[in-house]
Amino acid sequence: MKKILVTGGAGYIGSHTVVELQEAGYAPIIIDNFSNSEESALEGIAAILGKEIPCYRVDCTDAVAMRQVFEQEQDIQGVIHFAAYKAVGESVAEPLKYYHNNVGSLVALLQVMSEFNVYNLVFSSSCTVYGIPDKLPVTEQTPVQKANSPYGNTKKICEEILSDLAASGAEMNSIALRYFNPIGAHPSARIGELPLGVPSNLVPFITQTAIGIREQVTVFGSDYDTPDGTCIRDYVHVVDLAKAHVVAIDRLLEGKVDKLEFYNVGTGNGNTVLEAIQAFELATGVKLNYKIGPRRAGDVPKIYADVTKATEVLGFKTTSTLEEAMASAWKWQVSLKESTTEA
Ligand code: NAD
């Protein structure tokens, strides 16, 4: 089985990808420093797969420690690099923390990969690189704009690093996946999104409110130029997103990538925040306590993906509806409550 190193593999998207890689016949190996995850994710992965996945507690900015992992594992065929900080607000308050971790980890990783002749990389990028787009849906040709947060800028800089490396003729092949809004959880409810502290994403905020951890969801702005005035996002089920990484790795290992490719990974549909709330209520039968508040600075009014390229080239397809994704997020939230009540 081909070994794939997954940095940030104990995190939300990483843990789901580890499961899909193993189920597709790869041998995933996790690196994580658990700065934004818990070891319980490893237990969840093991429960789904019926086997433990090797995990190294290593910081990706530490090239010396990463080198040891590559030495020990010997024949790593490719890397999926999730490890990064992702809280937009925190990145505004502590930009250096974000540049150090998100940019520093990619640079260290690329150096160590080259030393060990590992030349296949999937990088976690984001639709944040499109800023506020002029035309919808956004394609991979939609111009990248000035980032509106240090977090967004780290994604833009990391993409530029990959482009510069490709232009240098270096022997590295990369796929940057630009995620839209991942939501939901594994159908087993053994892994899911585990925000430490107050969630900055909508869906964990919804599920934590519905279960009584938070009092109320605030919908930021109802006067945008959208059908119901609330922001539009492209919510993609995390299991569908995880599978996009498997087909990206397939393509890299088949030698089909010439230096660098970019793909949007979303559903191709935009939903308003109120539609997302309605989907949650319909899927779960739980009434959500929410209020409409003022706009939040920095929010993109509307964005959703054109996924033609990922569909045609990678064979990527989504299988889950918004309601199914909401139902899985709720099942995960309920299971978390049950496990803390039992403990
Ligand atoms: P997450 O925080 O759940 O997972 C990231 C994991 O990386 C965590 O387990 C964390 O402990 C680990 N990590 C962070 N820095 C590390 C370091 N220096 N060394 C080792 N491990 C480190 O986040 P996620 O939602 O799974 O996101 C994964 C990737 O996808 C990130 O790069 C993020 O920026 C990107 N992304 C996420 C979203 C989203 O909405 N969740 C959207 C677009 C892009």
Summarize pLDDT for 267-302 with one digit per residue, the tens. 999 999 999 999 999 999 999 999 999 999 889 999
Pick the residue whose CA is nearest to atom 10 on ligand 1. 36
What's phi and psi for 222, nearest 5 deg? -135, 20
Average pLDDT, integer, range 59-76: 97
Looking at residue 339, its pLDDT comes to: 81
82 lines ligand 1 (CB under 6 A): yes
Expressed in angstroms and rounded, the spacing between residue 11 Cα and the centre of ligand 1 is 6
Looking at residue 342, its pLDDT comes to: 64
CA distance 135 to 133: 6
Share of the chain above pLDDT 90, in %: 94
Summarize pLDDT for 312-343 with one digit per residue, the tens. 999 999 999 999 999 999 999 999 988 877 65
86 lines ligand 1 (CB under 6 A): yes
Looking at residue 19, its pLDDT comes to: 99
Looking at residue 343, its pLDDT comes to: 56
Looking at residue 48, its pLDDT comes to: 98
Q: How many CB atoms lie within 10 A of CB 273?
A: 25
Burial of 175 (0-12, 13-18, 19+ CB in 10 A): buried
CA distance 226 to 292: 15
Summarize pLDDT for 81-103 with one digit per residue, the tens. 999 999 998 999 999 999 999 99
Residue 12 has pLDDT above 70, yes or no: yes
Pick the residue whose CA is nearest to atom 4 on ligand 1. 11
Which of 83, 72, 80 minimizes the C-alpha distance to 34? Answer: 83
Summarize pLDDT for 118-166 with one digit per residue, the tens. 999 999 999 999 999 999 999 999 999 999 899 999 999 999 999 999 9
Q: How many CB atoms lie within 10 A of CB 120?
A: 23
Ligand 1 atom nearest to CA at 201: 40
Strands 290-293 and 217-220: parallel
Looking at residue 297, its pLDDT comes to: 84
Looking at residue 92, its pLDDT comes to: 93
- 285's CB contacts (< 8 A; 6+ apart) are none
CA distance 7 to 145: 27
194 lines ligand 1 (CB under 6 A): no
Ligand 1 atom nearest to CA at 61: 18
Which of 264, 283, 265, 272 minimizes the C-alpha distance to 321? Answer: 283
Pick the residue whose CA is nearest to atom 16 on ligand 1. 83
Token readout for 111 is 């150096």
Expressed in angstroms and rounded, the spacing between residue 8 Cα and the centre of ligand 1 is 6
220 lines ligand 1 (CB under 6 A): no
234 lines ligand 1 (CB under 6 A): no
91 lines ligand 1 (CB under 6 A): no
Expressed in angstroms and rounded, the spacing between residue 82 Cα and the centre of ligand 1 is 5
Evaluate whether 322 touches 276 at the Cβ level (below 8 Å): yes
Ligand 1 atom nearest to CA at 58: 20
Q: Which residues are catalytically annotated?
A: 151
15 lines ligand 1 (CB under 6 A): no
Pick the residue whose CA is nearest to atom 43 on ligand 1. 126
Pick the residue whose CA is nearest to atom 8 on ligand 1. 11
Token readout for 104 is 């520093």
* Mean residue pLDDT across the chain: 97
Expressed in angstroms and rounded, the spacing between residue 236 Cα and the centre of ligand 1 is 16
What's phi and psi for 191, nearest 5 deg? -135, 155
Q: How many CB atoms lie within 10 A of CB 45?
A: 26
Q: Give the C-alpha distances (Å, rounded to integers) separating 4 from 25, 227, 232.
A: 11, 43, 35
pTM of the entire predicted model: 0.98
8 lines ligand 1 (CB under 6 A): yes
Pick the residue whose CA is nearest to atom 22 on ligand 1. 83
Counting ligand 1 atoms within 8 A of each CB, the residue from 6, 7, 12 with the most, and so the one to mutate, is 12
| pLDDT higher at 104 or 341 | 104
Ligand 1 atom nearest to CA at 155: 34
